């Protein structure tokens, strides 16, 4: 029968909070309770009868509490199949009482690791008996209900109330699924702890915190975000974040992590920057970023590395944009920006912590280290007769940072800490350069004295030739082509400077 009445329960938990109402309800239903250690003491202090597991097994808790419930009289009562006469006969023969409900949680392993505890303390928080009880009960879901987290106590009470202690097969299977979710997550965290030094090449991802998104990349696609997003952002205003918002936000945060020393503002569209600028104030930085592409900014993702001031809010308030990210907002700025009800305002509380990136691909996954290399003046090798000036070097660093976060093939044009234009995601580097030059001119920029950054080397001198004719005077690129000298020779004939970084920044 799919309907099962709960007549007996085993309770052994680390966290006792919110357990009292559950015990009280089980008592009202006349359920026999088995327990051990601190949980047994807690139940007795509530004034409820409880049978000690030690009396059932004939063994005390041993090895400093490492072995308490690992016994056939416990696991037999959980794993015994009630629809098989052979199992029932064995239970009766060995005087093993069937157990219909198992309430067990696990030692706080993750929390102990996060606290910076010693290895000895961490190892002692690897649960053995608890996880075995959870798995046993979940395996025998046809007969046993498994409660594997204090988060489930309220739903258990509601279930007991509604059905007077009777559960259905579907209900037991649902809680079994929750139990295996908890046990698999627990084992994954233990593996990650041990594998920090071992370096075993395995991909194990477990994230239980999640939110359902309105839809995926397009309305006909379902989407979820897995992770504690609230640790990274406080949302002050606006509609619910979408899948595409989150993809763009990640790109914006990664880009802005390159800029910390001066007030900087960036505007992104489909993960690519259409405007980036640094200035004395965040309002000025916004104005300069917006100048680079006043069309693409519509519906974009905005990000600042300084507090949003009233002046900045006034400057951008008439622009339609999806999201604005900043470390803080003044009260007056918030009042201005909240005038549009759907405008998403986020306070960024931390940078991206992940050191790796994972993506599903074909019939598997690819994993790589994040590109955490930021090109600096110290990395530059001056390869031309005319050396880049101090002003040009600053502009080259700026342009290189933006190019690193732009889809390949890319060319970035900049001057005086301002993005002038970029060629994005082109199949040819020449096309990317032509796109950038045309766009810069369309928005009124004179490229005389501008600099150029490329995410990868130039296989031919055609790019530096086109750049020179446009007025560009300095170039940064990784170098490494067998025809590097041809590009160097052309630069020398036009009094251009060029630096090599030795580092490619493809972004697909």
Q: How far is CA 44 from CA 36, 52, 417, in A?
A: 11, 11, 70
Closest CA to 142 of 99, 100, 172, 103: 172
Strand partners, 211: 225
**Exposure on the CB side of residue 90, measured as CA atoms within 13 A:** 14
Phi (first) and psi of residue 175, to 5 degrees: -70, -30
Please give the pLDDT value at position 135: 96
Question: Sign (positive/negative) of CA torsion 424, 427, 428, 429?
Answer: positive
In this prediction the pTM is: 0.88
Q: Is the pLDDT of residue 65 over 80?
A: no
Please give the pLDDT value at position 199: 82
Q: Is the pLDDT of residue 359 over 70?
A: yes
Residues 6+ apart with CB under 8 A from 407: 271, 272, 424, 425, 507, 508
Closest CA to 176 of 34, 4, 384: 4
Per-residue pLDDT tens over the stretch 281-330:
999 999 999 999 999 999 999 999 999 999 999 999 999 999 999 999 99
Q: Which of 85-99, 331-345, 401-415 has the lowest mean pLDDT?
A: 85-99
Please give the pLDDT value at position 342: 94
Q: How far apart are CA 363 and CA 358, in angstroms?
A: 14
State percent of the chain over pLDDT 90: 87
Give the model's confidence band at 1: pLDDT under 50 very low, under 70 low, under 90 confident, else very high.
low
Helix-, strand-, coil-residue percentages of the chain, each rounded to 5: 40, 20, 40
The pLDDT of 81-97, averaged and rounded, is 91
Residues 6+ apart with CB under 8 A from 89: none
Distance of CA 405 to the CA centre of its chain: 18
State percent of the chain over pLDDT 70: 100
Closest CA to 257 of 291, 292, 304: 304
Q: How far apart are CA 108 and CA 99, in angstroms?
A: 25
Q: Is the pLDDT of residue 69 over 90?
A: no
Q: How far apart are CA 299 and CA 249, in angstroms?
A: 13
Phi (first) and psi of residue 34, to 5 degrees: -110, 140
Q: How far apart are CA 110 and CA 249, in angstroms?
A: 28
Using the 8-state DSSP alphabet, how is residue 152 labeled?
Answer: G
SS3 82: coil
Q: How far apart are CA 256 and CA 258, in angstroms?
A: 5
Please identify which of the residues 16, 27, 48, 139 carries the catalytic annotation. 139
Q: How far apart are CA 52 and CA 74, in angstroms?
A: 11
Distance of CA 65 to the CA centre of its chain: 36
Q: How far apart are CA 241 and CA 211, in angstroms?
A: 10
**Exposure on the CB side of residue 197, measured as CA atoms within 13 A:** 2
The answer to whether residue 139 is catalytic is yes
The answer to whether residue 270 is catalytic is yes
Per-residue pLDDT tens over the stretch 294-306:
999 999 999 999 9
Please identify which of the residues 16, 270, 340, 494 carries the catalytic annotation. 270
Q: Is the pLDDT of residue 486 over 80?
A: yes
Please give the pLDDT value at position 55: 83
Q: How far apart are CA 317 and CA 320, in angstroms?
A: 8
The pLDDT of 121-136, averaged and rounded, is 93
Q: Which of 48-62, 163-177, 479-493 has the lowest mean pLDDT?
A: 48-62
The token duo for 34 is 């088995």
Q: Is the pLDDT of residue 46 over 90?
A: no
């Amino acid at each position: 029968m799919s309907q099962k009445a709960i007549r007996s329960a085993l309770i052994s938990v680390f966290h006792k909070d919110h357990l009292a109402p559950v015990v009280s309800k089980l008592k009202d239903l006349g359920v026999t309770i088995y327990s051990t250690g601190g949980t047994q003491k807690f139940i007795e202090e509530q004034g409820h009868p409880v049978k000690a597991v030690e009396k059932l097994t004939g063994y005390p808790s041993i090895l400093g509490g490492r072995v308490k419930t690992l016994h056939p009289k416990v696991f037999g009562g959980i794993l015994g199949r009630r629809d098989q006469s052979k199992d029932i006969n064995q239970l009766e023969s060995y005087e093993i009482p069937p157990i219909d409900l198992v309430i067990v949680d696990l030692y706080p392993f993750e929390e102990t690791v996060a606290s910076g505890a010693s290895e000895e303390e961490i190892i002692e928080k690897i649960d053995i008996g608890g996880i075995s009880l959870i798995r046993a009960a979940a395996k025998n879901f046809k007969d046993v209900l498994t409660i594997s987290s204090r988060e489930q106590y309220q739903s258990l009470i509601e279930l007991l109330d509604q059905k007077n202690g009777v559960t259905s097969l579907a209900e037991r299977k649902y809680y079994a699924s929750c139990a295996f979710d908890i046990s698999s997550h627990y084992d994954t965290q233990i593996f990650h702890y041990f594998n920090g030094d071992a370096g075993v090449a395995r991909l194990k991802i477990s994230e239980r915190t999640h939110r359902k998104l309105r839809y995926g990349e397009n309305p006909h696609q379902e989407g979820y975000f897995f992770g504690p997003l609230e640790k990274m952002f406080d949302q002050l205003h606006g509609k619910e974040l979408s899948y595409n918002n989150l993809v763009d936000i990640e790109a914006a945060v990664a880009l802005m992590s390159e800029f910390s020393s001066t007030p900087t503002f960036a505007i992104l569209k489909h993960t690519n920057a259409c405007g980036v600028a640094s200035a004395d104030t965040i309002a000025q930085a916004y104005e300069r970023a917006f100048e680079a592409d006043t069309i693409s900014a519509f519906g974009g993702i905005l990000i600042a590395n300084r507090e949003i001031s009233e002046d900045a809010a006034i400057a951008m308030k008439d622009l339609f944009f999806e999201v604005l990210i900043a470390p803080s907002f003044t009260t007056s700025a918030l009042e201005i920006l909240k005038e549009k009800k759907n405008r998403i305002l986020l306070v960024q509380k931390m940078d991206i912590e992940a050191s790796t990136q994972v993506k599903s691909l074909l019939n598997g996954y690819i994993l790589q280290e994040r590109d955490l290399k930021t090109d600096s003046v110290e990395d530059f090798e001056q390869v031309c007769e005319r050396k880049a000036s101090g002003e040009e070097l600053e502009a080259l660093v700026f342009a290189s940072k933006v190019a690193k976060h732009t889809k390949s093939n890319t060319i970035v044009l900049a001057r005086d800490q301002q993005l002038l234009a970029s060629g994005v995601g082109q199949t040819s580097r020449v096309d990317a350069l032509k796109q950038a030059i045309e766009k810069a001119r369309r928005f009124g920029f004179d490229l005389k004295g501008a600099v150029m950054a490329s995410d990868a080397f130039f296989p031919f001198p055609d790019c530096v030739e086109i750049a020179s004719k446009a007025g560009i005077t300095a170039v940064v690129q990784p170098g490494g082509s067998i025809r590097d000298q041809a590009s160097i020779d052309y630069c020398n004939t036009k009094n251009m400077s060029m630096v090599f970084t030795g580092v490619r920044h493809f972004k697909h």
